[in-house]
Amino acid sequence: MTDQAPELQGKPTSASRTTLSHIMTGSDTNLLGTVHGGVIMKLVDDAAGAVAGRHSGGPAVTASMDEMVFLEPVRVGDLVHVKAQVNWTGRSSMEVGVRVLAERWNESTPATQVGSAYLVFAAVDADGKPRTVPPVVPETERDKRRYQEAQIRRTHRLARRRAIKELREQRAAEGIDD
Protein backbone atom coordinates (compact mmCIF):
# COMPACT_ATOMS: atom_id res chain seq x y z
CA MET A 1 0.00 0.00 0.00
CA THR A 2 1.32 3.47 -0.89
CA ASP A 3 0.46 6.96 0.32
CA GLN A 4 0.48 8.38 -3.20
CA ALA A 5 -2.66 9.00 -5.22
CA PRO A 6 -3.08 6.85 -8.30
CA GLU A 7 -1.81 8.37 -11.55
CA LEU A 8 -4.63 10.23 -13.30
CA GLN A 9 -5.20 9.56 -16.97
CA GLY A 10 -4.39 12.52 -19.22
CA LYS A 11 -7.12 14.55 -20.91
CA PRO A 12 -6.80 16.02 -24.39
CA THR A 13 -6.83 19.79 -24.76
CA SER A 14 -10.14 19.62 -26.65
CA ALA A 15 -11.93 17.92 -23.73
CA SER A 16 -12.28 21.15 -21.76
CA ARG A 17 -11.92 23.86 -24.40
CA THR A 18 -14.84 26.29 -24.32
CA THR A 19 -16.20 29.56 -25.71
CA LEU A 20 -18.22 32.03 -23.69
CA SER A 21 -20.11 34.65 -25.73
CA HIS A 22 -21.71 37.83 -24.44
CA ILE A 23 -23.20 40.91 -26.08
CA MET A 24 -21.92 44.18 -24.66
CA THR A 25 -24.50 46.71 -23.45
CA GLY A 26 -24.47 50.24 -22.08
CA SER A 27 -24.07 48.98 -18.51
CA ASP A 28 -20.66 47.52 -19.50
CA THR A 29 -19.10 50.87 -20.47
CA ASN A 30 -16.42 53.00 -18.86
CA LEU A 31 -16.15 56.81 -18.85
CA LEU A 32 -14.79 56.76 -22.41
CA GLY A 33 -17.87 54.98 -23.72
CA THR A 34 -16.09 51.73 -24.53
CA VAL A 35 -16.46 48.47 -22.61
CA HIS A 36 -14.70 48.57 -19.26
CA GLY A 37 -11.57 46.40 -19.07
CA GLY A 38 -12.85 44.90 -15.83
CA VAL A 39 -15.94 43.58 -17.62
CA ILE A 40 -13.69 41.82 -20.15
CA MET A 41 -11.48 40.51 -17.35
CA LYS A 42 -14.49 39.00 -15.57
CA LEU A 43 -15.56 37.23 -18.77
CA VAL A 44 -11.97 35.97 -19.15
CA ASP A 45 -11.96 34.67 -15.56
CA ASP A 46 -15.39 33.06 -16.00
CA ALA A 47 -14.39 31.23 -19.19
CA ALA A 48 -11.02 30.18 -17.76
CA GLY A 49 -12.71 28.95 -14.57
CA ALA A 50 -15.13 26.83 -16.56
CA VAL A 51 -12.25 25.28 -18.49
CA ALA A 52 -10.23 24.63 -15.32
CA GLY A 53 -13.24 23.03 -13.62
CA ARG A 54 -13.97 20.86 -16.63
CA HIS A 55 -10.36 19.73 -16.95
CA SER A 56 -9.86 19.03 -13.26
CA GLY A 57 -13.29 17.49 -12.76
CA GLY A 58 -14.27 19.79 -9.91
CA PRO A 59 -13.74 23.16 -8.29
CA ALA A 60 -10.76 25.28 -9.28
CA VAL A 61 -9.84 28.76 -8.07
CA THR A 62 -7.97 31.57 -9.78
CA ALA A 63 -4.40 31.72 -8.46
CA SER A 64 -3.02 34.38 -10.81
CA MET A 65 -3.62 36.24 -14.03
CA ASP A 66 -0.67 37.02 -16.28
CA GLU A 67 -0.29 39.18 -19.31
CA MET A 68 -3.85 40.46 -19.73
CA VAL A 69 -3.44 42.31 -23.01
CA PHE A 70 -6.06 44.59 -24.52
CA LEU A 71 -5.42 44.94 -28.25
CA GLU A 72 -8.49 46.87 -29.41
CA PRO A 73 -11.37 48.62 -27.62
CA VAL A 74 -14.68 46.77 -27.33
CA ARG A 75 -17.85 48.76 -28.02
CA VAL A 76 -21.47 48.57 -26.99
CA GLY A 77 -23.19 46.22 -29.42
CA ASP A 78 -20.13 44.03 -29.88
CA LEU A 79 -20.63 40.30 -29.52
CA VAL A 80 -17.62 39.17 -27.49
CA HIS A 81 -16.35 35.59 -27.67
CA VAL A 82 -13.97 34.41 -24.97
CA LYS A 83 -12.16 31.23 -26.06
CA ALA A 84 -10.27 29.32 -23.38
CA GLN A 85 -8.27 26.11 -23.08
CA VAL A 86 -5.88 24.41 -20.69
CA ASN A 87 -2.33 24.94 -21.97
CA TRP A 88 -0.36 23.19 -19.21
CA THR A 89 -0.90 21.27 -15.99
CA GLY A 90 1.17 20.70 -12.89
CA ARG A 91 0.28 18.60 -9.87
CA SER A 92 -2.69 20.71 -8.81
CA SER A 93 -2.37 23.78 -11.02
CA MET A 94 -3.34 24.53 -14.60
CA GLU A 95 -2.47 27.35 -16.96
CA VAL A 96 -5.47 28.43 -19.04
CA GLY A 97 -4.91 30.49 -22.18
CA VAL A 98 -7.68 32.85 -23.26
CA ARG A 99 -8.32 34.73 -26.50
CA VAL A 100 -10.94 37.47 -26.63
CA LEU A 101 -12.62 38.20 -29.97
CA ALA A 102 -15.27 40.76 -30.85
CA GLU A 103 -17.64 41.26 -33.76
CA ARG A 104 -20.54 43.60 -34.38
CA TRP A 105 -23.78 41.94 -33.34
CA ASN A 106 -25.57 42.93 -36.55
CA GLU A 107 -22.85 42.42 -39.15
CA SER A 108 -21.46 39.33 -40.79
CA THR A 109 -17.83 40.41 -40.69
CA PRO A 110 -15.18 38.18 -39.11
CA ALA A 111 -14.45 38.58 -35.41
CA THR A 112 -11.29 40.47 -34.47
CA GLN A 113 -8.98 39.51 -31.64
CA VAL A 114 -9.27 42.25 -29.00
CA GLY A 115 -7.38 40.69 -26.09
CA SER A 116 -5.62 37.72 -24.55
CA ALA A 117 -4.62 36.48 -21.12
CA TYR A 118 -3.04 33.62 -19.23
CA LEU A 119 -4.46 32.52 -15.90
CA VAL A 120 -3.28 29.94 -13.39
CA PHE A 121 -5.93 27.94 -11.54
CA ALA A 122 -5.52 25.61 -8.60
CA ALA A 123 -7.85 22.64 -8.26
CA VAL A 124 -9.27 22.38 -4.75
CA ASP A 125 -11.29 19.86 -2.78
CA ALA A 126 -14.32 20.54 -0.57
CA ASP A 127 -12.03 21.82 2.20
CA GLY A 128 -10.20 24.22 -0.13
CA LYS A 129 -7.06 22.08 -0.16
CA PRO A 130 -5.15 21.45 -3.42
CA ARG A 131 -6.09 18.30 -5.30
CA THR A 132 -4.37 16.52 -8.15
CA VAL A 133 -5.38 17.31 -11.74
CA PRO A 134 -5.06 15.08 -14.78
CA PRO A 135 -2.23 15.96 -17.13
CA VAL A 136 -3.24 17.83 -20.27
CA VAL A 137 -2.46 16.05 -23.54
CA PRO A 138 -1.72 18.54 -26.34
CA GLU A 139 -3.30 17.37 -29.58
CA THR A 140 -2.21 19.77 -32.32
CA GLU A 141 1.06 21.51 -33.11
CA ARG A 142 -0.53 24.72 -31.80
CA ASP A 143 -1.43 22.95 -28.54
CA LYS A 144 2.15 21.66 -28.25
CA ARG A 145 3.53 25.19 -28.80
CA ARG A 146 1.15 26.57 -26.15
CA TYR A 147 2.25 23.85 -23.72
CA GLN A 148 5.93 24.74 -24.24
CA GLU A 149 5.24 28.48 -23.90
CA ALA A 150 3.28 27.82 -20.69
CA GLN A 151 6.30 26.02 -19.23
CA ILE A 152 8.41 29.11 -19.96
CA ARG A 153 5.84 31.40 -18.31
CA ARG A 154 5.77 29.11 -15.25
CA THR A 155 9.55 29.20 -14.97
CA HIS A 156 9.47 33.01 -15.13
CA ARG A 157 6.64 33.25 -12.55
CA LEU A 158 8.55 31.06 -10.10
CA ALA A 159 11.84 32.91 -10.68
CA ARG A 160 10.13 36.28 -10.16
CA ARG A 161 8.52 35.09 -6.89
CA ARG A 162 11.84 33.70 -5.68
CA ALA A 163 13.72 36.93 -6.53
CA ILE A 164 11.14 39.09 -4.76
CA LYS A 165 11.20 36.85 -1.68
CA GLU A 166 15.01 36.96 -1.57
CA LEU A 167 15.02 40.75 -1.92
CA ARG A 168 12.52 41.14 0.91
CA GLU A 169 14.52 38.79 3.13
CA GLN A 170 17.73 40.70 2.33
CA ARG A 171 16.09 44.06 3.13
CA ALA A 172 14.67 42.67 6.38
CA ALA A 173 18.11 41.33 7.36
CA GLU A 174 19.54 44.82 6.69
CA GLY A 175 16.87 46.32 8.92
CA ILE A 176 15.18 48.16 6.09
CA ASP A 177 11.46 48.29 6.86
CA ASP A 178 9.22 48.79 3.85
Pairwise CA distance, residues 93 & 121, whole Å: 6
- pLDDT at residue number 66: 86
Q: What is the pLDDT of residue 116?
A: 97
List for the chain the helix, strand, coil content (%; round to 5): 35, 35, 35
Tell me: pLDDT of 5 over 60: no
- pLDDT, average across residues 61-70: 94
pLDDT in tens, 73-97: 999 999 999 999 999 999 999 999 9
Res 6 pLDDT > 70: no
The reported pLDDT for the residue numbered 178 is: 57
> In whole angstroms, what is the distance from residue 87 CA to residue 152 CA?
12
- Check if the beta carbon of residue 110 is closer than 8 Å to that of residue 169: no
Considering the chain, what percentage of its residues have pLDDT values greater than 90?
Answer: 89
Q: How far apart are CA 10 and CA 153, in angstroms?
A: 21
Tell me: pLDDT of 8 over 50: yes
pLDDT band at 3 (very low <50, low <70, confident <90, very high): very low
**DSSP classification of residue 13:** G
Among the residues of 33-109, which ranges form H helices? 37-56
Band (2; pLDDT cuts 50, 70, 90): very low
Structure confidence by residue, pLDDT tens digits, 114-136: 999 999 999 999 999 999 999 99
Residue 56, helix vs strand vs coil = helix
Give the strand order in the sheet containing 18-23. Answer: 18-23, 78-89, 93-104, 112-123, 60-70
